[in-house]
Amino acid sequence: MSQKIYISLKESESLIFNKSLNVLEKRLEIEQAKGLLSVNIIVNNEDLLYINGEYIVLLSAVRKFEIPREDLNLFLNHYKVPPGLINTVDRKVRDIFKNEIKLSFEKNEESEEYKNYLRLRNALVGVLHYNYEMYATNHKEYDAHSILNSFTNLSEIKKLFLINLFKEETIPILIVNVNKFVTDHFYRVTWWGKFITDNYLKTLNIENEEEVKNIRLWLRAFLEFDNINTINKQLTQVPKDLKKEINFLLGYYFNAIKFESFHLENNYFFDLYDEIVYEHKNELFYWISFFNSFYNPNIIQIYFIESLQHEVYKLEKLAFELTQNNLTLENSERVNFDFKKIDKGVLISEYDQLNNGVSKKSPLLIKANEAKGVYKNQLFRDNLQNIGFEINFQFEAGKLLNYCWNTKSEFALHLTNNMKISDIVFYINSDSKAQQRLKDLKIKTKRIDRLLDKKKVLVAFISQKETPKLIQLYSSILRQEIAERFDKVLIVLLVNLKVEDLQSLEFDRYLKSQEQEYQRLFSNQIELIVKNIHTKNDSEIKRNLKNSLEKYRINQIEVVDENFDNKEAIWLIESGTEYYIDEENKNFYSVINQG
């Protein structure tokens, strides 16, 4: 059974960023929005935790945020909640003084227990995220059950290690005297090594001093962290006394030396996975993902699809109970995680619902090499031999294969040599003098406005180094239809420039000149988007296209078939929700909502 709980905007912020919220028991008696309590969260009753007269709401227990419509941008762009978790309502709330109701977020979000909860929660959720990242990239053997279930009964050394990490705001270091320049990575490793020798070795009760000495030497070799060959060699020589906890400890080591690379280099986690040679590599990378997420605040931006939401709830509940009880579960019950395989149709439908807020529907899946075909229109290059136009002196006839024109004294017709007359359709104005002459020649005709039927926006990809050709056909023959019926013309400028050149006054003047030129050609609103080919990451162009085109359906978009292939078509497809590219390496299990 679901429960409605009314909370304030400030409490919403605390719940979203801290992943939990305490509310007084009496709050559940409130049945409508009032005062500061303008947000309604819908949760399952069984997912509420009850402690000392207060309910603890974990974010994963929230099925929907029902919010005033005017707060939508706040939730999407600042709180970064995905659209699928939001319902908007027309709601007006009375302004009152803050002290008229008791807000409970203030006493919780600064406490050590809640800070520790958030970090442990992020670490566990990060393992789940990387589990599906690895699965999506065909690392099928990557399975996080064992590491997550192990938290129901942590060893004493794991508890002590995590407690020491809780005490530090960042990755801890131990500064020692060295006769060379070193980075903080070196001091991170010295802290790691000292913890092992001071805390773990002592519990092993190793009587042979030579064995202890060899373990110390083995640990010291990890200071050569820039040499992957040295690291791989050490991984083949793990001392038998350390084997029980070594994957946990090595997971922290790799995060300490590679943390910045994980966050600055795309796919570095998977690149490192391929470089490491180790018998227990899969378990090692569970722990690397754990510690990487422990220190990564952006993990809070990850939201999982509906089929996995209860698994996230179990993780958040586990993290909460552990940090409330010194990393020990009172009943020590095993947590069973169900990482079931989800049918791809259901998977993408739930992803679409979460990411875009659309109602569940069967997704239309296409292969990447079919993307361009989604936008095919009558003016695509391979269709030009089948169509003809009536022209005048304003357009250069040589750019067309089939055309006709009228003068006071004659009618002229030009057809491509390799086409039958019965296969050609001429698009002409309804009052054209050529209509009867074409009909006499048994050439089919259609009104020219049928070419752009239902279309609302023209999209063209223009290379800075080339003179556009096909777009001139639109600006000459179809100019009137575009000016009268289209909302805008979107020009994607393809450039290959250094960052400093993009920010120069010269480039700014170039953009303004392009906008003025296309305004002259089309007499319509011109929107310019720059895609720097020098930048390999396509996330920015996809985001800009989505912002520009998200309200248009594919059948409302006319694409100029110039500098346009499957890659550019995928950019466009990902700006909407009608199609999904059937990619083997695409993670549809979660959404990283960056606002």
Residue 382, number of CB atoms within 10 A of its CB: 8
Reference 29, options 4, 66, 10; nearest CA is 4
Per residue of the chain (595 residues), give pLDDT as tens.
789 999 999 999 999 999 999 999 999 999 888 888 999 999 999 999 998 889 999 999 999 999 999 999 999 999 999 999 999 998 765 444 444 455 554 555 567 888 999 999 999 999 999 888 887 776 655 568 888 888 988 999 999 999 999 999 999 999 999 888 899 999 999 999 999 999 999 899 888 889 999 999 999 999 999 999 999 999 999 999 999 999 999 999 999 999 999 888 777 888 899 999 999 999 999 999 999 999 999 999 999 999 999 999 999 999 999 999 999 887 656 677 777 778 888 888 899 899 888 776 677 889 999 999 999 999 998 888 899 998 876 455 666 889 998 877 888 898 887 788 889 999 998 888 899 999 999 999 999 988 998 999 999 999 987 777 888 889 988 999 999 999 999 999 999 988 888 989 999 999 999 999 999 999 999 999 999 987 878 888 999 999 999 899 999 999 999 999 999 999 999 888 888 888 767 788 898 876 5
- Co-location of 123 and 180 in the same domain: yes
Reference 565, options 364, 377, 379, 369; nearest CA is 369
583 part of a folded domain: no
**Could you identify the residue written with the tokens 């603890």?**
56
Report the SS3 class of residue 472.
helix
298 part of a folded domain: yes
**Contact in structure between 426 and 444 (CB atoms under 8 Å):** yes
549 part of a folded domain: yes
Domain boundary among 110, 136, 157: 110
Domain boundary among 90, 110, 130: 110
- Co-location of 128 and 247 in the same domain: yes
- Co-location of 242 and 388 in the same domain: no
For 326, list phi and psi in degrees, rounded to 5: 55, 40
Answer yes or no: pTM beyond 0.85: no
Is 181 exposed, middle or buried, given 0-12, 13-18 or 19+ CB atoms closer than 10 A? Answer: exposed
Distance CA 513, CA 45 (A): 60
**DSSP letters spanning 131-175:** HHHHHHTT-TT---HHHHHGGGG--HHHHHHHHHHHT-SSS----
363 part of a folded domain: no
Report the SS3 class of residue 467.
coil
73 part of a folded domain: yes
pLDDT value of residue 96 = 46
pLDDT value of residue 462 = 94
- Co-location of 294 and 328 in the same domain: yes
**Domain residue limits at 532:** 368-576
Q: Give the strand order in the sheet containing 403-406.
A: 411-414, 403-406, 387-390, 425-428, 444-447
pLDDT value of residue 409 = 80
- Co-location of 421 and 516 in the same domain: yes
Residue 57, number of CB atoms within 10 A of its CB: 24
- Co-location of 300 and 382 in the same domain: no
- Co-location of 470 and 492 in the same domain: yes
Number of domains in the chain: 3
- First-to-last CA distance in the chain? 31
Report the SS3 class of residue 585.
coil
